[in-house]
Structure 1
Amino acid sequence: MAKTNATLIWNIANLLRGPYQPNQYGDVILPFTILRRLDAILAPTKDQVLAEYEKIQGLGVDPGIVLKNKFNLPFFNTSKYTFASLAANAEEVAANLIDYIEHFSPNIRDVFEGFSLPTLVMELEKKNRLYDIVKEFANVDLHPDVVSGHDMGYIFEELIRKFAESNNAQAGDHFTPREVIALMVDILFAEKDAELTKPGIIREIYDPAAGTGGMLSVAYDHLTKMNPNANPVLYGQEINARSYAMCKSDMIVKGQGVDNIYLGDTLTDDGFSGRHFDFLISNPPFGVSWNTQQAPVTAEHEERGHAGRFGPGLPRVSDGSLLFLMHLISKMRPVHGPNDKGSRLAIVLNGSPLFSGGAGSGESSIRQWIIENDLLDAVIALPTDMFYNTGISTYIWILDNSKPAERQGKVQLIDSSGMFGKMRKSLGSKRKELRDEDIQAVAQLYADFTNDSGTNGSPSISKTLANNEFGYSTIIVERPLQLRFEVTVDKIDEALAVKSVARLKESEQVAFRNALSSMTGQVWNDRAEFLPELKKALYVSGIKKPGAALMKTLWLTIGEPDPEAKICTNAKGQPEPDPSLRDSENVPLTQDIQGYFEREILPHVPDAWIDTEKTKIGYEIPFTRHFYRYAPPRPLDEIQRDLRVLVTEIQAMLAEVGA
Structure 2
Amino acid sequence: MLEPRFIKAYEILKEKFGYFPFTYENAEKVLKVKYENVAEVLSKLVNAGYLEKKQDSKDKRKKIYRIVDKMEKINRLTKDKLISLLKQGADLIRTQVDYKVLLLFLFYKAISDIYLKTVEKLREEHKDLDDEDVYILANEEVLELYDIENNKLYTWNNVKNSPEEFINALNRIVELNRGKLEGLQELIRRTGLPSLFENENKYIVQQLIDLFSKVDLSSVDYDILGDAYEWILNYFAPTKAKEGEVYTPKEVNKLLAYIIEPKDGDIILDPACGSASMLIEQYKFNNNVVLVGQERNEVTGILAKLNIILHGITPSNAKIFIGDSLVNPKFESFLKELKRDKANKVVANPPWNQDGYTEDVLKNNPKHSEIYKYGFPNKNSADWAWIQLINYYTQEKAGIVIDTGALFRGGRERAIRKKFVDEDLIDAVILLPEKIFYNAQAPGIILVLNKNKSEERKGKILFINASNEYINHPEIRRLNKLSDENIEKIAKAYKKFKDVDGFCKVVDIEEIKKNDYNLNVSLYVSPIEEGEEIDLKEVYNELNKLHNEYLNKFEVVKSYLEEINKIG
Assess same fold via TM > 0.5.
yes
Q: Unpaired segments of 5 or more residues in structure 1?
A: 55-66, 225-229, 334-342, 455-459, 473-587, 589-617, 632-659
Residue in structure 2 matched with residue 206 of structure 1 by the alignment = 269
- The alignment partner of 1:114 has SS state of helix
Shift of 1:273: 1.7
Residue in structure 2 matched with residue 591 of structure 1 by the alignment = none
Output aligned runs, 1:129-208, within 5 Å: 129=203, 130-143=205-218, 146-164=219-237, 167=239, 170=242, 173-189=245-261, 196=263, 201-208=264-271
Letter in 1 for 2:403: N
Match of 1:422 among 466, 472, 480: 472
Change (3 A) 1:179 1:95: closer
Shift of 1:407: 1.2
Residue in structure 1 matched with residue 513 of structure 2 by the alignment = 471
Change (3 A) 1:122 1:94: farther
Q: Does 1:238 align with 2:295?
A: yes
Separation in 2 of the partners of 1:255 and 1:117?
26
Separation in 2 of the partners of 1:240 and 1:436?
32
Shift of 1:96: 4.4
Map Cα deviations across residues 280-335 of structure 1 (whole Å, 9 max, x no partner). 111111122034x653413548x7522xx1111111110001111111112112xx
Shift of 1:412: 0.7
Residue in structure 2 matched with residue 531 of structure 1 by the alignment = none
Separation in 2 of the partners of 1:387 and 1:416?
15
8 Å CA contact 2:387–2:400 kept in 1: the answer is yes
Separation in 1 of the partners of 2:158 and 2:97?
27
**Aligned residues: CA RMSD:** 3.6
Change (3 A) 1:630 1:150: closer
Q: Does 1:261 align with 2:333?
A: no
Shift of 1:86: 1.0
Residue in structure 1 matched with residue 40 of structure 2 by the alignment = none
Shift of 1:431: 2.8
The two structures have a TM-score, normalised by structure 1, of 0.58
Greater relative contact order: 1 or 2 (C-alpha under 8 angstroms, separation 6 or more)? Answer: 1
Output aligned runs, 1:620-639, within 5 Å: 620-627=518-525
Match of 1:13 among 77, 82, 89: 89
Change (3 A) 1:212 1:98: closer
Q: Does 1:346 align with 2:399?
A: yes
Residue in structure 2 matched with residue 495 of structure 1 by the alignment = none
Match of 2:202 among 123, 128, 134: 128
Match of 1:315 among 377, 382, 387: 377
- The alignment partner of 1:209 has SS state of coil
Separation in 1 of the partners of 2:406 and 2:167?
52
Shift of 1:71: 3.7
8 Å CA contact 2:139–2:146 kept in 1: the answer is no
Match of 1:442 among 485, 490, 496: 490
Q: Does 1:249 align with 2:306?
A: yes
8 Å CA contact 2:352–2:402 kept in 1: the answer is yes
Q: Unpaired segments of 5 or more residues in structure 2?
A: 1-46, 48-77, 124-128, 336-341, 530-568
Match of 1:461 among 478, 484, 503: 503
8 Å CA contact 1:423–1:432 kept in 2: the answer is yes
The two structures have a TM-score, normalised by structure 2, of 0.66
Match of 2:387 among 325, 328, 331: 325
- The alignment partner of 2:445 has SS state of strand
Count of aligned pairs: 429
Letter in 2 for 1:297: L
Question: Which has the greater radius of gyration?
Answer: 1
8 Å CA contact 2:279–2:291 kept in 1: the answer is yes
Shift of 1:171: 8.5
Change (3 A) 1:214 1:377: same
Letter in 2 for 1:349: I
Shift of 1:212: 1.7
Residue in structure 2 matched with residue 431 of structure 1 by the alignment = 479
Map Cα deviations across residues 102-140 of structure 1 (whole Å, 9 max, x no partner). 543233141242343783133134333344444543443
Shift of 1:12: 5.5
8 Å CA contact 2:100–2:191 kept in 1: the answer is no
8 Å CA contact 1:172–1:387 kept in 2: the answer is no
8 Å CA contact 2:246–2:438 kept in 1: the answer is no
